[in-house]
Amino acid sequence: MSAMRRTLTLSLIAGALLAAPLAALAQDIKPRLIRFGYGLNENSNQGRAVKFFASEVERLSGGKMKVRAIGAAALGPDVQMQQALIGGAQEMMVGSTATLVGITPQMALWDTPFLFNNVREADAILDGPIGAKVMATLEPKGLVGLVYWENGFRNLTNSKRPVQKLEDLDGIKLRVMQNNVFLESFRTLGANAVPMPFSELFSALETKTVDGQENPFNTILSSKFFEVQKYLTVTNHVYSPWIVLVSKRWWDGLSKDEQKVLRDAAVASRDFERKDTREAAGKAVAELKTKGMQVNELPPAEAARMRDRLTRVNASIGANIGMDLWNETQAALAKLRAAPTVARK
């Protein structure tokens, strides 16, 4: 072999040897990308919390993991994103526990009307052993639950009339989440309950396909329902959690360190989200009034009638989730209510 050919061959070998570690290094430097889908607008309590989570993941991983927050149901409604996570086509999402009942019936516990009297009870149960037990039912179905966020206490809006008594709901076409407890609950109240994905709700209200819906104050404001809903009735008929979910297929491929980053960021985002959500909710009703909504509270006697009517679904919830879980939850709530409440910070 001529000297020239030898030199050329050696330099090609040297180049190849050099390129390999550089490629590996480049692979190391390229952050692991996480597509995180959610249904509300970017400028909502849900959107702000996803953004916070993303910054925490980047900080805790030293830039090795990067979350791409994709809002406004751009990756599809909750049910579609749940399937994408199960199939491994998407890494993370946050959405309502109510739409998970088709995957794991125990999630229906959180649909129980008037289950929680206040956020102290909600935090204690959701973040305690019962919340963990319900979350664990997701894993065999291909989902990993990290934390619960707060959607909040739900209230009624409609475009036809103020709801001052139960009979005012008669015949109102009311959108509900795709969930049998919500369907049954509002049918027993006399409404014409229509299950529908959240992503279709604004246009359905705008075109009068439905007359009303029920959601927390923050969502009514951030989704601009005041533009298509005249009447807001404060009912606080159920406390709605969101749940931060990971694709188990993808999760199982992560290192322990990577999983710890996501768990730690999720806990920090939960505390941020609840604080942000509660502060925003405190201001939302006043803002909705300035946007032209007519707001009323149900008179106590009517609220009692609603509670009595709505809690008729409790028997079916207990049967669906299992009486052990139902009784454990009732006992835990009774214990919480018996304990002296420390001054809330």
Given the rule CB under 6 A, which residues bind ligand KDG?
Answer: 39-40, 73, 78, 95-96, 151, 177, 198, 215, 219, 240, 242
- Residue 75: HSE in the Cβ half-sphere, 13 Å Cα cutoff: 24
The residue number whose beta carbon is nearest to ligand KDG equals 39
Give min distance, CB of 214 to ligand KDG, in A.
Answer: 7
Between 60 and 220, whose beta carbon lies closer to ligand KDG?
220
What is the per-residue DSSP string for 208-232? TSSSEEEE-HHHHHHTTGGGT--EE
Between 95 and 318, whose beta carbon lies closer to ligand KDG?
95
Q: In degrees rounded to 5, what are phi and psi of residue 9?
A: -60, -45
Between 217 and 302, whose beta carbon lies closer to ligand KDG?
217
Tell me the three-class secondary structure of 40-106, residue by residue.
Answer: CCCCCHHHHHHHHHHHHHHHHCCCCEEEEEECCCCCCCHHHHHHHHHHCCCCEEEEEHHHHCCCCHH
Between 65 and 73, whose beta carbon lies closer to ligand KDG?
73
Task: Evaluate whether 159 touches 222 at the Cβ level (below 8 Å).
Answer: no
Give min distance, CB of 14 to ligand KDG, in A.
Answer: 55
CA distance 137 to 53: 24
Give min distance, CB of 16 to ligand KDG, in A.
Answer: 50
Task: Evaluate whether 149 touches 241 at the Cβ level (below 8 Å).
Answer: yes
Between 131 and 318, whose beta carbon lies closer to ligand KDG?
131
Give min distance, CB of 31 to ligand KDG, in A.
Answer: 26
Give min distance, CB of 50 to ligand KDG, in A.
Answer: 11
